[in-house]
């Protein structure tokens, strides 16, 4: 699986999903996998605006609060 930056850029996950790796992982070939913790940029919490968990599996198109590029 591509890293979180790539997933956000290609619209696979919500552009509001955040993880520490967004700020220091500059290797585009590293794995996004299940590393975390993840949080939502809107709520600044592990929960999104809809009350659901913010993570790579959940923050995808089709979720009401998902914003893709």
Residue 27's pLDDT is 60
Which pTM value belongs to this model? 0.81
Higher pLDDT, 1 or 31: 1
pLDDT of residue 35: 64
pLDDT 10s digits, 4-57? 888 999 999 999 999 987 777 556 555 545 467 899 999 999 999 999 999 999
Sequence-ordered list of residues with C-beta below 8 angstroms from that of 14, at least 6 positions apart, any chain = 8, 40, 48, 59, 60, 63, 65, 66, 67, 68
Q: What does the pLDDT read at residue 48?
A: 98
pLDDT at position 36: 73
Pairing of the two strands 17-19 and 38-40 = antiparallel
Alpha carbon distance 24, 49 (integer Å): 26
């Amino acid at each position: 699986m591509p890293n979180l930056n790539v997933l956000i850029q290609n619209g696979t996950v919500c552009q509001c999903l955040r993880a520490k790796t967004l700020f220091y992982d500059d290797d585009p070939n590293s794995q996004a996998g299940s590393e975390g913790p993840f949080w939502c940029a809107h709520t600044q919490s592990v929960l999104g605006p809809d009350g659901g968990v913010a993570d790579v599996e959940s923050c995808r198109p089709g979720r009401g609060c998902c914003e893709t590029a």
